[in-house]
Amino acid sequence: MKFSIIFFLVTLLGIMSVNKDLFDFNSSCNLDRWQIVNDGVMGGLSKGSIALTDEGHALFSGQVSLENYGGFTSVRYRCNPMDVRKFNTCNLRVKGDKKSYQFRIKSDGYDRHSYIYSFETSGEWEDITIPLDQMIPSFRGRQLDMPSFPGEQIEEVTLLIGNKRKESFSLLIDRITLE
Domains, in order of start, for the chain: 19-178 (2.60.120.430)
Question: How many Å apart are CA 72 and CA 74, to the nearest integer?
Answer: 7
3-state class of 39 per DSSP?
helix
- Tell me what pLDDT residue 9 has: 41
Identify the pLDDT of residue 14.
43
Which residues of the chain fall short of a pLDDT of 70? 1-17
Q: Starting at the edge strand that comes first in sequence, how are the strands of the sheet with 73-83 ordered?
A: 34-38, 73-83, 153-161, 100-106, 114-120, 136-139, 142-143
| Predicted pLDDT at 7 | 43
pLDDT at 41: 80
